Amino acid sequence: MKPDLFEAPDYYNLDELLSDEHKLVRQAARDWVKRDVSPIIEEYAQKAEFPEQIISGLAEIGAFGPYIPEEYGGAGLDQISYGLIMQEIERGDSGVRSTASVQSSLVMYPIWKYGNEEQRKKYLPKLASGEWMGCFGLTEPDHGSNPGGMTTNFKDKGDHYLLNGAKMWISNAPFAQVAVVWAKNEEGRIHGLIVERGMEGFSTPETHNKWSLRASATGELIFDNVKVPKENLLPNKSGLGAPLGCLDSARYGIAWGAIGAAMDCYDTALRYSKERIQFGKPIGQFQLQQKKLAEMITEITKAQLLAWRLGVMRNAGTATSAQISMAKRNNVDMAINIAREARQMLGGMGITGEYSIMRHSMNLESVITYEGTHDIHLLITGLDITGLNAFQ
């Protein structure tokens, strides 16, 4: 793979909206991605393997629980810093960002928000340091966009719960020590349970042959009469709103992360357009190629403004789930379109692993599907503005 020469575009001087702390946090993440991710990521994506050696680096840059309070091992940062870290990591690879998103927003967040003090103290510091990795089990083979239909269930057996069912498409599942699992009790109410590797009847087979997010491990969670201790139930929130609250936090991170992937594709295509000579000129001198680049930087700038404004509202606690949906949907769509255009600008070289673009392009096919598909987020916006439910 070519050396990482990335220079971040900032067409509207958005750095003026950031604090010194934001810029320091971003720089640390950017330097780490250049040093520890870019040189190895193509090889790991090619062999479809998660590079476990980067876990400690992710912890060091604050990617595990950026906004979780320091007393629980988190970085105690604000939402914009969280977003900037996700942007920088996804600039390297969406699969690596997925690992960090799951750990922070889908595992640490519910334990912090819905757990009790003993659970916070037991799990959060180990998850923040990367000593333990976590996964989040919501999706099932027959229930993806409609998680409320889930059939995974648990029964009260007096001194423990008995958990049965299966989850599918679970990021980090093959190596996670801890799974936050959403299941229905005997009354059909959804609760979160912390399931640990090693519990009898719990297995995590890996999902192979993915053409997307190849550097992220994906698997199933199988529960065959798993005895879960009663103290592993998250006591402070139940119902579908509990997992959806976690998804809000993760989707917000994705809205920033997708900008990173788009910036990397744009920056690569811009540099290539000045170096690649055809018909005696750099291809960047042709109007058709300039149109692509001009539209890319326009869309990136709009996405940056959307993410920054959403971050300000998240810091104030006023961002709605529907506003987060809009940013996730728009920014991932923006990134996937830019990846496709940038790929074409590199001609044949665009399909090789010499450049990051094809990997970003394939990764974004998952990002546009998970955490609510592109169409589901449109329906969320539609419901929000009309008050009319078009889901069913």
Ligand X SMILES: Cc1cc2nc3c(=O)[nH]c(=O)nc-3n(C[C@H](O)[C@H](O)[C@H](O)COP(=O)(O)OP(=O)(O)OC[C@H]3O[C@@H](n4cnc5c(N)ncnc54)[C@H](O)[C@@H]3O)c2cc1C
Q: Which residues bind ligand X (CB under 6 A)?
A: 102, 136-139, 144-145, 169-171, 213, 218, 366, 369-371, 373, 375-376, 379, 391
Question: Mapping DSSP to helix (H, G, I), strand (E, B) and coil, where does residue 61 land?
Answer: coil
Q: For ligand X, which is the closer residue by CB, 143 or 276? A: 143
Residue 106 is given by DSSP the state I
**Listed residue (191, 62, 198, 209) closest to 137, CA to CA:** 191
Q: What tokens does 294 get? A: 């001009």
Q: For ligand X, which is the closer residue by CB, 84 or 180? A: 180
Smallest distance from ligand X to CB 12, Å: 32
Question: Mapping DSSP to helix (H, G, I), strand (E, B) and coil, where does residue 71 land?
Answer: helix
Q: For ligand X, which is the closer residue by CB, 40 or 379? A: 379
Smallest distance from ligand X to CB 140, Å: 8
Smallest distance from ligand X to CB 386, Å: 15
Q: What tokens does 153 get? A: 């269930």
Smallest distance from ligand X to CB 25, Å: 25
Pairing of strands 160-171, 218-229: antiparallel
Beta bridge partners of 222: 166, 203
Smallest distance from ligand X to CB 95, Å: 8
Of all residues in this chain, which one has the CB nearest to ligand X in the complex? 144
Active site residue 299: no
Q: What tokens does 298 get? A: 């326009």
Cα 98 to Cα 101: distance, rounded to the nearest angstrom: 5
Which residue has tokens 């139930």?
233
Pairing of strands 281-282, 277-278: antiparallel
Smallest distance from ligand X to CB 202, Å: 16
* Cβ-contact 325, 332 below 8 angstroms: no
Question: Mapping DSSP to helix (H, G, I), strand (E, B) and coil, where does residue 111 land?
Answer: helix
Question: Mapping DSSP to helix (H, G, I), strand (E, B) and coil, where does residue 220 land?
Answer: strand
Smallest distance from ligand X to CB 192, Å: 12
* Cβ-contact 331, 39 below 8 angstroms: no
Q: For ligand X, which is the closer residue by CB, 254 or 300? A: 254
Task: Say how far residue 198 (Cα) sits from the centre of its chain.
Answer: 26
Question: Mapping DSSP to helix (H, G, I), strand (E, B) and coil, where does residue 221 land?
Answer: strand
* Cβ-contact 114, 191 below 8 angstroms: no
Which residue has tokens 């190596």?
175
Question: Mapping DSSP to helix (H, G, I), strand (E, B) and coil, where does residue 39 land?
Answer: helix
Q: For ligand X, which is the closer residue by CB, 31 or 142? A: 142
Q: For ligand X, which is the closer residue by CB, 221 or 300? A: 221
Cα 73 to Cα 145: distance, rounded to the nearest angstrom: 33
Q: Centre a 10 Å sphere on the Cβ of residue 127 and count the other Cβ atoms it contains.
A: 27
Q: For ligand X, which is the closer residue by CB, 79 or 94? A: 94
Smallest distance from ligand X to CB 281, Å: 41
* Cβ-contact 163, 193 below 8 angstroms: yes
Q: For ligand X, which is the closer residue by CB, 136 or 266? A: 136
**Listed residue (105, 113, 165) closest to 139, CA to CA:** 165
Catalytic annotation, residues: 371
